[in-house]
Amino acid sequence: MANVWDAMKKHDAEQAEQAEQGGSAPNANTPGPEHGPTPGQKNEPIAAQIGMDGRYSELLVVHHDRGGAISEEYRSLRTNLLAQHKDERFCYLITSSNAGEGKTVTCLNLSLVMTERVDCRTVVIDCDLRKGKMAKLLGAQASPGVADLLHGSATLQECIQPTCCSNLFFVPAGKVKSSEVGELVGRPELDEIVNELRRRYDYVIFDTPPINVASDAGILGKTVGEALLVVRMNKTRRESVEKSIRLLHAANVKMSGIILTNRKYYIPNYLYRYS
């Protein structure tokens, strides 16, 4: 893990030096202009350079504090998820019962901890077309994204953005009118997008609206197949969790686990820490 962290810091230093010289650092994942990417190719086109070190939200603790206790908890989650898949590849949607339970932050921190498997590639997709927040947390462009893909106004390669981690990619929610969301998420093109991402990447993670608030997670879950439910300790009611599980089962989505957020630990003479 130390080698990965050192490599990241070296990469950031090189990027900063290139910026001061008025140039841009070469990206090993960027194909030459005469060679377009092919399906399944390891090299990935980029929309723009984003997600430099200082632009990541402090909520992304795995990025800012890789040696911390919370990062270790995300590594434990990673171990448990990988143990469920023989080929050590997975595709999950992450949802919650209600808003404000930490599902988006959980998605991004899990994605970041997956980058420590340096030979594998991860993509995180903001499928909360109503209130997508991932771009802001990453300091990234908000579009083009999933909405633009479903509208047919952008291609997948135009929507995939790189991050400061060479093996982590991001697809934002894009721009859409709230009145159009219900129709967009029901389009068959969504299934095609999911299948293409699963083919290109080792780990695919979707952030979706709360299952008790919108049907998006259930619709997407038909193709994704597995879900993780984020539950905020001392806030989410048992009845809400039970309803969420029923809704996922009704949509034939496998409930692979529950992630408990906002857990508190009493540490004498210190502040509480949160996961």
| pLDDT digit string, tens, across residues 252-262 | 999 999 999 98
Q: What is the pLDDT of residues 217-253, one digit of tens each?
A: 998 988 899 999 999 988 999 999 999 999 999 999 9
229 and 258 Cβ atoms separated by less than 8 Å: yes
pLDDT of residue 130: 87
Assess whether pLDDT exceeds 90 at residue 118: yes
What is the per-residue burial (b if ≥16 Cβ within 10 Å, else e) of 59-72?
Answer: ebbbbeebeeeebe
Rounded average pLDDT over 21-35: 38
Q: What is the pLDDT of residues 47-62, one digit of tens each?
A: 333 334 448 888 888 9
Q: Whose CA is closest to 241, among 254, 260, 215?
A: 260
Q: What is the pLDDT of residues 122-133, one digit of tens each?
A: 999 999 998 889
pLDDT of residue 5: 41
Beta bridge partners of 124: 170, 205
Q: What is the pLDDT of residues 167-177, one digit of tens each?
A: 999 999 998 88
Distance CA(229)–CA(260), nearest Å, equals: 9
Q: How far apart are the first and last CA of the chain?
A: 20
Please, what are the domains in the chain?
69-131+188-261 (3.40.50.300)
Distances from the Cα of 114 to the Cα of 76, 87, 100, 165, angstroms: 11, 15, 24, 10
Residue 272: pLDDT band (50, 70, 90) is very low
Assess whether pLDDT exceeds 50 at residue 4: no
pTM score: 0.76
Q: Whose CA is closest to 141, among 163, 120, 109?
A: 163
- 274: which DSSP letter? B
134 and 104 Cβ atoms separated by less than 8 Å: yes
Ramachandran sector of residue 199 (left: φ over 0; alpha: ψ -120 to 50; beta: rest): alpha
Q: Whose CA is closest to 127, among 100, 111, 146?
A: 146
Q: What is the pLDDT of residues 79-117, one digit of tens each?
A: 999 999 989 899 999 999 999 999 999 999 999 999 999
Distance CA(35)–CA(137), nearest Å, equals: 32
Q: Which two tokens stand for residue 218?
A: 């259930």
Distance CA(62)–CA(13), nearest Å, equals: 19
Distance CA(210)–CA(243), nearest Å, equals: 11
Beta bridge partners of 229: 95, 258
Q: Whose CA is closest to 108, among 169, 159, 161?
A: 169
